[in-house]
Amino acid sequence: MNLSDIKGIGPKTLNILNKLSINTVNDLMRFYPYRYNIYKPSDITKCNDSDVIVVPAKIISEPKVSYIKRNFNRLSFMVEANNIPINVVIFNRAFYKPNLKINRYITLIGKYNKLKNQFMAADIKFKFMNSIEVEPVYHSASGISSSQIHKLITNVLSTMEFIDEIVPEYISEKYNLMNTSNSIREIHNPTNLNNLKQAKLKLKYEELFEFMFKINLIKYKNQIFDDFVIKDISDDTVKEIIDELPYELTSDQLNAINDIVKDFRNLKRMNRLILGDVGSGKTIVSFISILLNHSAGYQSALLAPTEVLACQHYDNFMSLFGNLGLKVELLVGSLKKSEKNSILERLKNGDIDLLIGTHAMLEDNVEFNNLGLVITDEQHRFGVNQRKSLQNKGMHVDVLYMSATPIPRTYALTIYGDMDISIIKEKPKGRKEIHTKVYNFKEINTVVEKIEQELLNGYQSYVVAPLIESEDGETNELNDLKKIEDTLKEKFKNKHSIGLLHGKMKQVEKDTVMNNFKEGKIEVLISTTVIEVGVDVKNATMMCIFNAERFGLATLHQLRGRVGRNSIESKCILISDKDTERLSVMESSNDGFYISEKDFEIRGSGDLFGVRQSGDMIFKIADLRTDYKILLQCKEDTEEFIKDNIENSFNNYSYYKQILDKLINTD
């Protein structure tokens, strides 16, 4: 059945439904209400004047309409409720008049004033509710109302005798779940609150089960390699590398290294994500992984999103481990053709142990001799196919990802469910907490003084603006780069060097400005949010963010993480005239994982971070904040389901066999 076959759906309605992402009959059936109005009839004699009540009544007089203003009308009539005649008034509902016939039974929603014997109605339902009723409310669009959507869904359900089950029968029986047909009917037309609760449980479980099945199936498939080899890495080698470091690693870093060593020794491909807070020391863990991979006789590749970051990784690796004899090269787009060709030839011959680079590494002519480890920094900056193209350049390639976007464990389980995860929370020893304070625009002189004090102490500062140029209608004077630059030049009396960085600049211009800042040639960098995540300027001790209320918590925390990269006390100033919960969270904590939890609470389970480029994270009925226990149970159940049925390719479960076949055919 097509949508156009349903009673009430013509070309115009079909177009509106499509805009609501309703393209099939199944989409319509699973276009769930986002809330419910629950109507519980009240005894009008026992209510207070301020109570919003639901009163079933019978009309006993003809309605009258009076016009107060051109677009403002008053509809009045009398009803009988609890054997009491009552005056009813409702505003701007003149169009109800034809439906308000004497002796008709209706239900009023509103407030009753006993002294005046007047019921001020907020709404009228044209049916008699003498018991609790539950009314679904749907997200609507211009041209179609919630009630119209409900009517279309009811029309569809009247033609559907049976709706296919997605959850395996033995699991539904195990948890005594309502069947799908009844669940869909109850979710749209609840018979009572308990049935509605059971319907929601089934449909949430169904949605999360299917999602976790796909995630775990990918994970299972990634782990099966008949010809994969174990990397021979001794405990002594691990100890020697760690002992050579000029500083002590944190417990989280050591645990992450231990996880990676276990992966190397396993007869499966490593597919691990190092999920760490900003400045937590993920990079050194990846460097140690490179050394361990090299000790087993394999080449490594480290992919970074920008030249600045790639160069920083190269410099840091060489300063720490340049004396160990590894042959390391940097492959970036700005290299001369002759230099690039030389690198490619030596890489293919096995004369390069570690290649660090940008997107230039993904080109077809980049061939490795014996690639064994691919590390992707800020992996969300690369598409799925880009990441795969690099790991496919070797036979026995382990894969390690790094992300500096702390997210709640709930999201890690779903977004990165096909990966093993090592979490690094602890900051390296000696790092001090960044002191964060909110100022308003009236205190701008104080803010400038604090920035200048850092400069006079020999340190550098970041200043972040929400805009490159002011938008029409903007009244605040300090909201774009140029205005802030002019203000600081005036306040500093041109005593300090200032640089600008924004997204409209060419990449070579951005790299030049960033390098000048790293080298200390620029003291104050005024930028939009294009400041590179991971770029390490140890001499920067001040982050000042204008109009901070315009940024999400994740962005604010990432920006703050550009300072505090050394043992010197660093500061973050948030400038805003609006007192928001986000800014209070920033003042109270430096813990990125706590901040991500608060972001999760404040903004909900939609697109919080934009860190996954494959898969839809917006569920139709499940809510990861409240349904986390269901999610965990689905994770466990799908793992068992896959283990028991993967050998026969889910022949007894056609729905899941199709998912498996699609996964195999799109690999």
- Identify whether the C-beta of residue 464 lies closer than 8 Å to the C-beta of residue 545: yes
CA dist., res. 566 & res. 279, Å (int): 9
Backbone torsions φ then ψ of 208, nearest 5 degrees: -75, -30
Residue type at 271? N
Domain boundaries, the chain: 41-131, 235-424, 435-589
Residue type at 631? L
Q: Which of 320, 270, 303 is nearest to 422 (CA)?
A: 270
Q: Which of 497, 658, 574, 620 is nearest to 22 (CA)?
A: 620
Backbone torsions φ then ψ of 288, nearest 5 degrees: -65, -35
CA dist., res. 180 & res. 196, Å (int): 13
Q: Which of 373, 319, 328, 364 is nearest to 346 (CA)?
A: 328
CATH classification code of 435-589: 3.40.50.300
Domains 235-424 and 435-589 alike in fold: yes
CA dist., res. 341 & res. 275, Å (int): 35
Q: For residue 662, what pLDDT is reported?
A: 81
Q: For residue 372, what pLDDT is reported?
A: 93
DSSP string, 537-560: -TTEEEEEEETGGGS-HHHHHHHH
**Sequence-distant (≥ 6) Cβ neighbours of residue 646 within 8 angstroms:** 220
CA dist., res. 41 & res. 125, Å (int): 12
CA dist., res. 500 & res. 525, Å (int): 6
- Identify whether the C-beta of residue 186 lies closer than 8 Å to the C-beta of residue 176: no
In sign, the C-alpha dihedral spanning 364, 369, 371, 375 is negative
Q: For residue 280, what pLDDT is reported?
A: 86
Query: How buried is 478 (Cβ within 10 angstroms: 0-12 exposed, 13-18 middle, 19+ buried)?
Result: middle
Q: What is the pTM of this model?
A: 0.68
Q: Which two tokens stand for residue 412?
A: 């890690």
Taking 70 as the pLDDT cut, the residues of the chain under it are: 222-227, 379-389, 409-411, 413-415, 470-479, 532-534, 603-618, 665-667
Q: For residue 608, what pLDDT is reported?
A: 38
Q: Which two tokens stand for residue 178?
A: 């309502």
Q: Specify the CATH superfamily of domain 235-424.
A: P-loop containing nucleotide triphosphate hydrolases (3.40.50.300)
Any idea which fold 41-131 has?
OB fold (Dihydrolipoamide Acetyltransferase, E2P) (2.40.50)
CA dist., res. 546 & res. 467, Å (int): 10
| Residues composing the chain | 667
CA dist., res. 335 & res. 12, Å (int): 56
* Spacing of C-alpha 503 from chain mean position: 23
In sign, the C-alpha dihedral spanning 474, 475, 479, 481 is positive
